[in-house]
Amino acid sequence: MTEDPTGPGAANAGARWLAEQLVAVTQDPGVADRVFALAGRKVGRAPRRPEEDPAGVVHGTHDDAARAALVVALADALGPGGGAALAARLADLYQHGDTAERRGVLRGLDALAARDALAPEVVAVGTELAADALRTNDQSLVAAAVGPFAAAHLDPHAWRHAVLKLVFMGVSLDAVAGLDDRTDAELARMARDFAAERRAAGRVVPDDVARLAPDVVTGPPSAADASDDSPTSTGRSA
């Protein structure tokens, strides 16, 4: 009888594999590249919170979490003085990885940022990698680039545009770490402008816009909106 690849037996096997590989990376950082690539096959690619995030975009997937743990193990192996080496390894894992592996690097930066102060070299490289992810149109990459690392290290301009990009892409702002702390008057203004453009185009204003600018009315355009844009209301004749 074939074991269910999504069942508890497979989950336990994946957990055992990960525990073994964390030890292996700590003992020999050179194995990290191979292990990083295998994580999806070994621990699975299912969402961590399937009921609220069925695609694993907002809260990540099991392989995201495994790769984040591997990044932490790699940092531990390289030690407190290994900031430059860690930055180089993370850049290499990201640049040579597929989308899932790139997410893993970004989630790993989040795990490191939540644990300790990061070496300047790691912050510099991490900021470059987050900026690269934010230039893509992949929802999972953009969501992975707005976690605790971004909350601590992205400059205000980049962070505001990242948040608004999530709204535009239809990704929940639950993905954003530090949203309440970092939302400011400028981001609220940008959200209002975004909402006004959507209404002028007769499009739905996403509910998350109200998290950035509470005075904005979300939802589909109303009859009043249509009237405001009509030729009569603006003094134009047909």
Exposure string (b/e) for 189-207, b if CB count within 10 Å is 16 or more? ebbeebbeebbeeeeebbe
Give mean pLDDT, residues 8-22: 85
Helix (H, G, I), strand (E, B) or coil at 174: helix
Predicted confidence (pLDDT) at residue 74 exceeds the cutoff of 60: yes
What is the average per-residue pLDDT within 209-225? 87
* pLDDT, tens digit (0-9, with 9 covering 90-100), for 83-105: 999 999 999 999 999 999 999 99
pLDDT tier at 3 (50, 70, 90 boundaries)? very low
Decide if pLDDT at 13 tops 60: yes
Burial of 170 (0-12, 13-18, 19+ CB in 10 A): exposed
d(CA 46, CA 64): 10
Radius of gyration in angstroms for the set of CA atoms belonging to the chain, rounded to a whole number: 21
pLDDT over threshold 60, residue 211: yes
Tokens read off for 233: 């209301």
Q: Please state the rounded mean pLDDT for residues 218-235.
A: 58
∠69-141-176 over CA atoms, to 5°? 80
